[in-house]
Structure formats: C-alpha cells, structure tokens
Amino acid sequence: MSARQITQSDTQNRFIIGITGASGADYALRLIWRLSAIKGESDVIISPNFYKVLASEGGIDGASGQNLLEIAMARYGKTSDLHEFSNLAYTDIGARAASGSQKYRAMVIVPCSMKTLAAVTHGLSQNLIERAADVSLKERRTLIVCPRESPLSTIHLRNMLALSEAGAIVMPLMPGYYHKPQNITDLYDFMVDRIMQHLGLSERAIEPWQG
C-alpha cells in the first residue's frame, strides 16, 4: 500500500456533527441547512433519541432514516448542495469517525444531552457520537459541545468544567438577545453563528457586535 500524503484540503471544512436527544432539535437542523451552502463535507451521527425530540418539538413523526437536510429545507426553504453530508450509524463504533487516523477539522455535538455530556466527560464511548468525541479530545481536535438543560445540577456543572479542562469548547444553547431577534430562527442563528465561528467558518447570519 503506498503512503498517502495528508494535504490541507483533507481537513478543510471536514467536520463531524453529533446530534443527540436534548431539546433544541432545530439548532441541529439550522446548522445543517446553513452548512449546506458552504463547500465541504460532514459526517453526521444521529442519536435515536433525537427523533423523539423532533417528534415532540417539530411534530415530525417517523423521521428516522430521513435525510435531515430535506427536513431542514422543508422548514427553512431550498438551499444549495455545496456541502456533502454522510450519515454514519450511531451504533457503528467501527465507522471512520471512530478513528484518530481520519482527518477532520472539528466536531460539534448539538444539541448535547446531559447523558452524552457525562459520557464524553468520563470517556465512556458507548456509541459513535461518544467515541468520535473521545477521539477528538485525544487527537487535540476542536470539539464543540452544546449542552441543553435547566436548571443544571452540580453533576452537570462539574462535567462541563471537566470537559472544558480537557480541551472542549462548552457552548450551552443560550442565545443572546442584543441582536434584537425578530423570530425564533434569529435565536437559532445566534448560536449557529457561534458554532460556525468555532468550526473555523467566517459565514455569519447576524452582524457581529460593533460596540
């Protein structure tokens, strides 16, 4: 087998997106919708619990296996297909995202349940989202974790601190209000802008604060 040189284009805009069963399903849909207009590729791993949240919040039943970009487009309108999304099975802990030999620019877990937060914090890699996050930490790649819960127990808070100390960016789904949101999508975009900023992307839906 011949050795292959890793070039910058191997990692340019190549991401892992983990989606779990915390409230805020639309943060994931909106991120996918916005990424679809940016050249690149993402491996998407979806927890089965996400579909329960999607049914409860979005009234979308039986979405398991459906293309998330199509669901997002039904909500937010048609977009381009510059970004290539590949679904990796949640249970397939042997998939490519489970290996440190693969090159990704960053991983984001959005929304992130307290259960996945705990598992990643304590290195319990029982599914592909948790394993890929574990690998992101050991490979010192950018890992963005977007937890959602309220109020937070001492255990949740300790897990977030430990995860931050391990190198992750802990970015709770807590949108600001100073951009004067006109609708709920403006709130999603506030957080998606911050996620994209930490993914290394410069696209913004909301004008950065000018002071």
Ligand X SMILES: Cc1cc2nc3c(=O)[nH]c(=O)nc-3n(C[C@H](O)[C@H](O)[C@H](O)COP(=O)(O)O)c2cc1C
- Taking the complex as a whole, how short is the minimal distance between the CB of residue 104 and ligand X, in angstroms? 20
Determine if 67 is a binding residue for ligand X (CB under 6 A): no
Which single residue is written with the structure tokens 């979005």? 58
Determine if 63 is a binding residue for ligand X (CB under 6 A): no
Q: Which of 13, 36, 42, 113 binds ligand X (CB under 6 A)?
A: 113
Specify whether the CB–CB gap between 21 and 53 falls below 8 A. Answer: yes
Determine if 159 is a binding residue for ligand X (CB under 6 A): no
- Taking the complex as a whole, how short is the minimal distance between the CB of residue 63 and ligand X, in angstroms? 14
Among 70, 66, 59, 2, which Cα is nearest to 25's?
59
Q: Which of 13, 36, 42, 116 binds ligand X (CB under 6 A)?
A: 116
Cα-flanking dihedrals φ and ψ of residue 40, to 5°?
A: 160, -165
Span near ligand X by CB under 6 A; candidates 30-38, 44-52, 93-101, 176-184: 44-52
136 is in an annotated binding site: no
Determine if 20 is a binding residue for ligand X (CB under 6 A): yes
Span near ligand X by CB under 6 A; candidates 32-40, 48-56, 100-108, 199-207: 48-56
Q: Are strands 83-88 and 142-147 parallel, antiparallel or unpaired?
A: unpaired
3-state secondary structure 44-83: EEECHHHHHHHHHHHCCCCCCCCCHHHHHHHHHCCCCCCE
Q: Which of 6, 12, 39, 56 binds ligand X (CB under 6 A)?
A: 56
